[in-house]
Amino acid sequence: MARRLRQARVPGTARNGAPTPPGVPLPPARGAVTSEAVLPAEVLRRIAYLLESQGETSYKAQAFRRAAATVETMAPAKLEELYHRKELASLPGVGPTTAAVVSQCLAGSVPQYLRDLEERTVPALDDPTRQLLGQLQGDLHSHSDWSDGGSPVGEMARAAVDIGHHYLALTDHSPRLTVAHGLSTEALRRQLELVSLVNQELAPFRLLSGIEVDILEDGSLDQTPDLLGELDVVVASVHSKLRMGPAEMTRRMVRAVSHPHVDVLGHCTGRLIVGRGRPPSTFDHEAVFAACASNGTAVEINSRPERRDPPEALLRAAASAGCHFTIDSDAHAPGQLAWLHLGCSQAVQAGIDAPSVLNTWPLAKLLAWGHRNG
């Protein structure tokens, strides 16, 4: 929602009002599986989505998507023939596990693989968390296979449509983050053309153009100001030199969040809380959050299970400073869009109310907020 944003078509009020595009079957939005939901390609994609939502690797999930892509191109009669001859695994991209799933679909039953995933996917949420999650209109931080994500842009957008989002920001990495295949200026401009095409297909859903721009050591941003000004959403994050001294890190972050094109401060401490972990960066949070509040830059509540960033104490400090927030998935695969409940739980624990969370707002209000801070 850059301050020089083009006006978008505003989605309707229904959570699932955006139509599913033809030719691309999608899984049920809420995971309710019945005997009617046994079309093989749909079931295979649903399995991929659920695997990702549970933290499985994109590689494993993509095996099911490859099988789905093969199956949906097959003539029904040919697929039935291979099923009866027990030769489904001979198809390109179909292995023993995916063949078993397809076989059970063709037999008219919901595959056990899918049933098992569905049963252990639904999180137990308290009422305040469930209510906040239900108020989210979209997600302002996601990645595609243009940088370090595992799925195409269109696949990410369609998954967002399926779970009822009105909008999703595509925020692939900037050039200097080479380990994440950051986009050059030229590549990002090409991506903007693709975003426009996706929006034509999926309207009234809106795929917001964006970037997760690297905050460099001196606090400058890793992309040209002109291009940043063309984007809908600019998330600025620190990805390098996370252990620099507190005074230096504070100056670095304050300069970045004060930039007129920055909308969101991403995963502000850089901590990792899973596996070997990584300690949070140290900085003067009062100074950083004061700069966020005065410059209209929201503080992200990053929902990735290994991040859950920032911790509760800093969230409370940001709220006290008068900051707005975003609750984002930082999804690198379609199923990871389902992680927003983790960020909602953090927000509830820190006493953050829904009106201060930008992505509880409808798109028109979100865009107006971006213009107001221009």
d(CA 328, CA 347): 11
Q: What's the pLDDT tens digit per position in 194-251?
A: 999 999 999 999 999 999 999 999 999 999 999 999 999 999 999 999 999 999 999 9
Pick the CATH number of 40-121 from 3.40.1160.10, 1.10.150.110, 3.30.1330.10, 3.30.365.10: 1.10.150.110
| pLDDT attached to residue 17 | 31
Share of the chain above pLDDT 90, in %: 82
- Amino acid (1-letter code) at residue 44: L
| pLDDT attached to residue 120 | 81
d(CA 345, CA 124): 11
Question: Which residue(s) pair with 188 in the sheet?
Answer: none
| pLDDT attached to residue 122 | 64
Tell me the CA distances in angstroms from 169 to 48, 54, 227, 231, one per residue in order.
22, 22, 16, 10
Mean pLDDT for all residues in the chain: 88
- Sign, CA torsion 192/200/141/351: positive
CB atoms within 10 A of CB 26: 19
- Beta carbons of 96 and 63 less than 8 angstroms apart: no
- Beta carbons of 329 and 294 less than 8 angstroms apart: no
Pick the CATH number of 127-372 from 3.90.600.10, 3.10.20.30, 2.160.10.10, 3.20.20.140: 3.20.20.140
Question: Which residue(s) pair with 213 in the sheet?
Answer: 236
| Annotated domain spans of the chain | 40-121, 127-372
Tell me the CA distances in angstroms from 253 to 140, 239, 299, 302, one per residue in order.
20, 12, 12, 17
- Beta carbons of 50 and 31 less than 8 angstroms apart: yes
| pLDDT attached to residue 92 | 95
| pLDDT attached to residue 232 | 94
pTM of the model: 0.85
- Sign, CA torsion 237/226/360/172: negative
| pLDDT attached to residue 371 | 59
Question: Which residue(s) pair with 301 in the sheet?
Answer: 327
